[in-house]
Structure 1
Amino acid sequence: MSNTPVIAAVDGSEHSLRALEWARKEAVRHDCGLLVAHVLPDHAQLYAGRRASLHDASEPEEFADPVRDWVRSLLGADGPGLPEGVTYEALEGSVPEALRVIGSQARMLVMGSRGRGGFASLLLGSSSRAVASTAACPVVVVPHAERGAIPDADADAEQSAGRVVVGLHAAETPDDVLTFAFTEAAVRATTVQVVSAYAIPPSPNLVIDSPFAVIPPEGLADEGDGVPAEREMLRSQTERLAPLRERFPDVPVEQAAVPGDAAGRLVIASRAASLIVVGRHHPRRTAMSLAIGSVAHAVLHHAHGPVAVVPTLKDDV
């Protein structure tokens, strides 16, 4: 069994239950431990601080943690402990910071799209967004039920067999992102589908100074199958994927070059995929830029299935 765990962040909400179920299956796939992490609410942290400062031996040594009991019952634990390979840790501090610290040595950190304290109308909670933006490990966000992310138990086998879809900008996507996607496809014995998008000309009705990446008309003229932009995109994909094909010879690969918006295409693909994989941000951005790129941001907000946001490790540590 690997010593690098999958971490499930829970808070007792229905959203974190779905994340816990997903993380437990992921730990089995990778033959590694499962660490269930709960960031204590403010009142519990205040109690712990008060007891420590006053050294009051008359107070219970441990604050009641109903989430720990909830986790035990969900995982079918016998007695006071947890099933073999599962550990539980109560954390103090803010949710993003506590999870960022504990996730520094994790295989991945799995959490729900919003927690117990989130607004019901939000597709993505502030804690999930913050953790996905800052964690040193890949963060998988499992959407809530209203988005139709995880099917019912009867369809579970079909969903787990779905392909892994990864968004690729051939010149910019870090190798970490591709390696994560191929690894996930390998442990699922499924296909990895690589999706790249190329810009299309704007409508003639748009103003001439529109901020669009435009393919000139001569670049679209083509007597063969597909436009030159598509063929060039597929060629670039093939070049980037060659080392991954060698490392993962048993993983089938599908390549797709599509016109238009990359995020929109990935959201559509998420309806039938077991996992969508995106890079956290453009590797050339400076420290003053947003911590998460526009594609990752859009996919996190709108995907119908689990989304893995993979950091550029050499830039994020």
Structure 2
Amino acid sequence: MSNGPVIAAVDGSEHSLRALEWARAAALRHGTGLLVAHVLPDVTQLYAGRRSALHDPNQPEEHADPVTDRVRALLEASPELPREVRYESLEGSVPAALRVISAEDSPRMLVMGSRGRGGFATLLLGSNSRAVATTASCPVVVVPHSDRDAAARPAGEAAEPSAGKVVLGLHVTETPESVLTFAFTEAAARATTVQVVSAYAVPPGPANLLGAPFAVVPPEALADAGDTVPAERETLRAQTRRLEQLRARYPDVPVEQATEPGNAAGRLVEASRSAALVVVGRHHPRVRSLLIGSVAHAVLQHAHGPVAVVPTLPEEDGAP
């Protein structure tokens, strides 16, 4: 796992400032630096290009950029700062500029706001967030805008089993090891539990209708007898096998195992109401595609809390 800086992508909006605060706390938890990246607005980039083309020494060297000044002031007022804070102004389109910086300095993660402004108020994802989560070289954490808080579970209702935990969406045969490592590292830094959610295929029936109770199964309960269907028992056992090495590497991180019939996306979205973080893989490691996986896409579109999308590391790519 990289010990590089946490990158916070900011543009001065309230969306990005929420992401900045999340990134600051993440850098403190992991003991790393914080890199604040701001993609300059088009007018600033055009000004710089015009000045360079005209070679006019009478023009100011820089166009006023209030975003960096505001961000600096906000961070300086914070109760605690990471060990190192750097600022970089980037040029180009937002996805392209952030894709480049995510490939430099081996960052631990890139954090950005959702900027969701689509036709549905409940949607999380904007076009820039989607593009960066799909193409960045490092894990991307998308922090939802404040409107999503209002869509979370109403006050007074019982807490979800995932409250305060790191929730990992795991396909037992396809999810790369880098995704598991990211989830366990985050849980260790937060001194919390990893809750692992996997889907299993069963014929449709009353017992697996959407909205059925979300069963969290401790490892010691994995026995042949019980009320679980065979496919669910095999999924839980496959989970256990996938988690063996991670349990050994992170012995202080408690683990809960859960299953979901059909597709795990809906359960991960539900868990995001109270989870500290939901972690998903970008796509199948053998699929060399710019398309994000269906589960990751659905969770990003509808989650109520922060979501980490973790790419496959180069050494994990088994494609020829």
TM-score, length basis structure 2: 0.83
Root-mean-square deviation (CA, aligned residues, Å) is 2.7
Gaps of 5+ in 2: 153-158, 207-223
| Equivalences for residues 31-70 of structure 1 within 5 A | 31-70=31-70
* Equivalent residue in structure 1 for 2:199, among 197, 201, 209: 197
CA contact (8 A) 1:6 1:34 kept: yes
- Flag the 1:182–1:223 CA change in 2: closer, same or farther, 3 A: closer
CA contact (8 A) 2:34 2:82 kept: no
Task: Please name the residue that 1:75 is paired with.
Answer: 75
Q: How far apart are 1:233 and its partner, in Å? A: 0.4
Gaps of 5+ in 1: 152-157, 205-221
CA contact (8 A) 1:143 1:149 kept: no
Task: Please name the residue that 1:252 is paired with.
Answer: 254
CA contact (8 A) 2:184 2:253 kept: yes
**Distance of 1:256 and 1:23 partners within structure 2:** 29
CA contact (8 A) 1:142 1:149 kept: no
Residue type at the aligned position of 2:284: H
**Distance of 1:183 and 1:98 partners within structure 2:** 27
CA contact (8 A) 1:141 1:307 kept: yes
Q: How far apart are 1:183 and its partner, in Å? A: 0.2
User: Which structure 1 residue ranges, 4+ long, deviate > 3 Å from structure 2?
Assistant: 118-122
Task: Please name the residue that 1:292 is paired with.
Answer: 292
- Flag the 1:246–1:83 CA change in 2: closer, same or farther, 3 A: closer
CA contact (8 A) 1:77 1:83 kept: no
- Flag the 1:148–1:294 CA change in 2: closer, same or farther, 3 A: same
CA contact (8 A) 1:150 1:305 kept: no
**Distance of 1:202 and 1:32 partners within structure 2:** 48
| Equivalences for residues 20-169 of structure 1 within 5 A | 20-76=20-76, 85-104=84-103, 105-114=106-115, 118-119=117-118, 121=121, 123-148=124-149, 162-169=164-171
- Flag the 1:182–1:71 CA change in 2: closer, same or farther, 3 A: same
CA contact (8 A) 2:6 2:35 kept: yes
Identity rate, percent: 75
CA contact (8 A) 1:149 1:306 kept: no
Bigger Cα displacement from structure 2, 184-193 vs 54-63: 54-63
Residue type at the aligned position of 1:200: V
Q: How far apart are 1:311 and its partner, in Å? A: 0.1
TM-score, length basis structure 1: 0.84
SS in 1 for 2:92: coil
SS in 1 for 2:58: coil
Q: How far apart are 1:86 and its partner, in Å? A: 1.1
**Distance of 1:223 and 1:246 partners within structure 2:** 27
**Distance of 1:172 and 1:123 partners within structure 2:** 26
CA contact (8 A) 1:181 1:192 kept: yes
Residue type at the aligned position of 2:85: V
